[in-house]
């Protein structure tokens, strides 16, 4: 099931007899007494225990007793710790199916027990709503050890609890079964399923997991007076269509993730999107020269490149460019009324006029044609029969599991070149790494060690290159979890060893990354000599420039979620921004959002202070405005392309866009940040630029 987390393999493929017995008995309980504790249900439960086995029987009895004593909140009134309001990551249907497989549930569709909802909370605990087959609606909690008093069950490194009554025997049986399945599964593995779910959504929840209600901004709200936070979207372009927290958001992780998690099939491929233009432009492309509202990482611009493993000595023959093409049907209002299938037919037929026909055509459905009922499958089938061209139809609006990858990659795996590759000794696959010229010095260094590149994939997938994936000795996968789901879907079952080295950002991390690859390939001989030959001069300049950076301070505005991204960058793009600027010699300061209703010590503030950082709290726009102006930092971090909150507060801006890979890239990044810190314009003229927060009184200059 998982090349990244092999401990799931045994869980998801556990022999079926005990599963079937339990599920049969759950259904029997449902039929005889609905699991409510009546005599017939008790008898059925006893029979189920006997059939499952004596060791499992003891576990069920113990679970039922402990669960009833410790977690029956309907009787004891106890509540597990939860934040009053927090951001929660809610899993998609595909993610729920994975949890069903891990827990051994057949799913609600089969009228048996299944996972209805999966939520990952900001503090790392997971809540699963389960129901079916006689099991009443309950919430399973997976908390790090120590958070649940007298937990009824435990996983490898976490405790398992339940919200709701556990009087019913069937609930105890279900709990014991879950505990048995997860006995050797670490919590990070379960968190990983939600963190890498590309279709997950983020929602704000209140106490007990209920949707949070908007908090009144001030006591005058009832009187009709304007709220202090109103219209702050003028100062922030992030989620400007309705996020009430925009005024304090300086990270755009969801926006970044939206583009990174998409795979693009490159090569001789035509993508035909049946859509309107508004849908077409809803997710701007990265690195195509168009304007973006966000500072996307420069190092991860989408790659339109060459075949890195092509034979450089082979004679070149003139070829027609058969790169990927993207067509859109451009649906209009009249098409919505009368149907737009004819436009899809014309778009497909236009491909026949190309000088070289594509090797693959992908037809993608979008919301509008699905709602109006266009028969896209009929158009695809008609075109396929008339041309004999390979056409893949993708409709992820009706089927969340639909993907061009599944059928396309299955076909590639059946290709003779893939099944019987010509091995390339000493070669590696690079997956998810930057693909522009910044990687060239690192590749030359590896080549000098005797390590060559077999193929480079993710986020783009070239089917021609994918065919030789198994020719390499090793696959090197980026630390960024953005690519984990794609890796599992495409490469997870392929028998090539996988290495996840340190991301090559900064001097020390670049050296560590290259060393780890060389060590895995058995090519460490001469490593130090080659390092000095390739990077010695850039390293000397970098170390000298570090001394200049010591006098400057860089600031971050964070909350609990964004701090987690900074401290664990592999959760997002993998670029260790905080560690990178510290290696460069800069000092980091923090402004920390503390909810106004928070009493006692704020955990985010306490974490930063325990790590030795200067951290200052704020709770509202006025406080943030004041702290920005008073901060000793010369520049602040923001992923908004041009952030007037900073410039009008007298601060310059830096972002993740400065990060470049390798030693030369680290040197260039350091030079750029130093130039930003030295620029005096905003410090001198902020008072003439206007209010940083238009609806908040501007402090006197």
Same fold? 264-304+322-413, 543-688: yes
Answer whether 256's CB lies under 8 Å from 271's CB: no
Domain ranges of the chain: 7-205, 264-304+322-413, 543-688
**pLDDT value of position 316:** 42
Mean pLDDT, range 25-33, rounded to an integer: 49
Mean pLDDT of 314-342: 75
Beta strand 158-163 with 614-618 is: unpaired
Q: 10 Å Cβ neighbour count for 111?
A: 13
Which of the two residues, 688 and 438, has the higher pLDDT score? 688
User: What CATH number belongs to 543-688?
Assistant: 3.40.50
Q: Is the pLDDT of residue 165 over 80?
A: no
What is the torsional sign of CA 345, 347, 349, 351? Answer: negative
d(CA 451, CA 113): 51
Give pLDDT, residue 651.
Answer: 98
pLDDT tens track for 260-280 = 555 567 778 888 999 998 887
pTM over 0.85: no
DSSP state of 183: T
Helix (H, G, I), strand (E, B) or coil at 55: helix
Burial status of residue 137 (CB atoms within 10 A of its CB: 0-12, 13-18, 19 or more): exposed
Q: Quick one: pLDDT at residue 228?
A: 36
Q: What is the DSSP letter of 112?
A: S
Average of pLDDT values for 567-593?
93
Q: How confident is the model at residue 50 (pLDDT cuts 50, 70, 90)?
A: very low
Mean pLDDT of the chain: 77
- Give 264-304+322-413's CATH code, choosing from 3.40.50.1980, 1.10.287.3510, 3.30.70.870, 3.20.20.450: 3.40.50.1980
**C-alpha to C-alpha distance for 100 and 96, rounded to whole angstroms:** 6
What average pLDDT does this structure show over 438-465?
Answer: 91
Of the chain, the end-to-end C-alpha distance in Å amounts to 60
Residue 186 has pLDDT above 90, yes or no: no
Backbone angles phi, psi at 180, to 5 degrees: -65, -40
Nearest-5° Cα angle at 607, 184 to 500? 45
pLDDT range class, residue 16, cuts 50, 70, 90: very low
What CA–CA distance (Å, rounded) separates 99 from 83?
25
pLDDT in tens, 340-357: 999 999 999 999 998 888
Q: What is the pLDDT of residues 518-528, one digit of tens each?
A: 999 999 999 99
In this model, does residue 420 exceed pLDDT 50?
yes
Calculate mean pLDDT across residues 281-301: 70
């Amino acid at each position: 099931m998982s090349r990244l987390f092999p401990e799931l393999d045994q869980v998801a493929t556990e022999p079926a007899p005990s599963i079937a017995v339990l599920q049969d008995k759950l259904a029997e309980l449902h039929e005889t007494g609905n699991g409510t504790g009546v005599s017939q249900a008790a008898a059925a439960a006893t029979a189920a225990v006997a059939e499952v086995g004596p060791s499992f029987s003891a576990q069920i009895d113990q679970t039922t007793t402990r669960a009833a004593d410790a977690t029956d909140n309907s009787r004891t009134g106890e509540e597990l710790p939860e934040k009053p309001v927090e951001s929660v990551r809610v899993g998609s249907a595909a993610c729920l199916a994975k949890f069903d497989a891990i827990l051994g549930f057949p799913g609600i569709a089969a009228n048996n027990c299944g996972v209805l909802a999966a939520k990952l909370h900001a503090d790392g605990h997971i809540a699963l709503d389960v129901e079916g087959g006689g099991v009443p609606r309950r919430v399973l909690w997976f908390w790090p050890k120590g958070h649940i008093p007298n937990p009824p069950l435990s996983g490898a490194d976490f405790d398992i609890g339940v919200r709701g009554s556990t009087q019913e025997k069937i609930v105890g049986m279900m709990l014991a079964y879950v505990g048995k399945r997860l006995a050797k599964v670490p919590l990070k593995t379960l968190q990983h399923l939600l963190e890498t779910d590309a279709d997950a959504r983020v929602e704000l929840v209140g106490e007990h997991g209920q949707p949070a209600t908007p908090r009144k901004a001030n006591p005058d709200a009832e009187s009709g007076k304007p709220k202090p936070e109103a219209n702050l979207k003028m100062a922030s372009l992030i989620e400007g269509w309705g996020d009430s927290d925009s005024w304090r958001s300086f990270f755009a992780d969801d926006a970044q993730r939206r583009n990174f998690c998409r795979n693009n099939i490159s090569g001789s491929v035509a993508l035909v999107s049946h859509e309107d233009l508004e849908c077409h432009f809803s997710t701007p492309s990265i690195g195509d020269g168009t304007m973006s509202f966000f500072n996307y990482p420069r190092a991860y611009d989408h790659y339109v490149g060459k075949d890195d493993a092509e034979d450089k000595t082979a004679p070149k023959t003139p070829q027609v460019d058969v790169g990927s093409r993207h067509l859109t049907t451009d649906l209009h209002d009249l098409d919505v009324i009368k149907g737009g299938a004819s436009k899809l037919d014309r778009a497909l037929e236009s491909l026949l006029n190309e000088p070289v026909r594509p090797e693959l055509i992908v037809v993608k459905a979008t919301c509008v044609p699905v709602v109006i009922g266009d028969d896209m499958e009929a158009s695809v089938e008609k075109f396929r029969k008339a041309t004999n061209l390979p056409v893949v139809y993708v409709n992820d609006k009706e089927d969340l599991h639909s993907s061009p990858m599944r059928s396309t990659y299955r076909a590639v795996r059946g290709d003779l070149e893939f099944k019987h590759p010509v091995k390339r000794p000493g070669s590696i696959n690079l997956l998810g790494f930057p693909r522009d010229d910044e990687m060239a010095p690192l590749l030359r260094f590896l080549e000098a060690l005797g390590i060559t590149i077999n193929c480079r994939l993710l986020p783009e997938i070239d089917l021609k290159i994918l065919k030789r994936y198994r020719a390499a000795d090793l696959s090197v996968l980026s630390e960024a979890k953005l690519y984990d789901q794609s890796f599992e879907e495409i490469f997870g079952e392929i028998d090539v060893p996988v290495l996840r080295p340190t991301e090559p950002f900064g001097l020390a991390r670049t050296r560590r990354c290259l060393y780890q690859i060389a060590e895995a390939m058995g090519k460490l001989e001469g490593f130090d000599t080659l390092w000095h030959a390739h990077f010695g001069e850039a390293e000397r300049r970098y170390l000298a420039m570090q001394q200049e950076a010591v006098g400057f301070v860089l600031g971050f505005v964070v909350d609990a979620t964004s701090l987690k991204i900074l401290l664990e960058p592999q959760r997002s793009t993998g670029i260790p921004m905080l560690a990178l600027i510290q290696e460069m010699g800069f000092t980091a300061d923090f402004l920390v959002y503390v909810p106004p209703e928070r009493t006692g010590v704020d955990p985010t503030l306490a974490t930063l202070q325990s790590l030795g950082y200067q951290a200052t709290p704020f709770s509202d726009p006025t406080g943030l405005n004041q702290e920005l102006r008073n901060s000793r930092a010369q520049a602040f971090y923001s992923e908004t392309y041009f952030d007037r909150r900073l410039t009008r507060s007298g601060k310059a801006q830096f972002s993740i866009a400065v990060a470049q890979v390798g030693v030369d890239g680290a040197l260039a990044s350091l030079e750029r940040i130093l130039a930003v810190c030295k620029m005096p314009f905003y410090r001198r003229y902020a008072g003439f630029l206007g209010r940083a927060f238009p609806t908040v009184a501007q402090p006197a200059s």
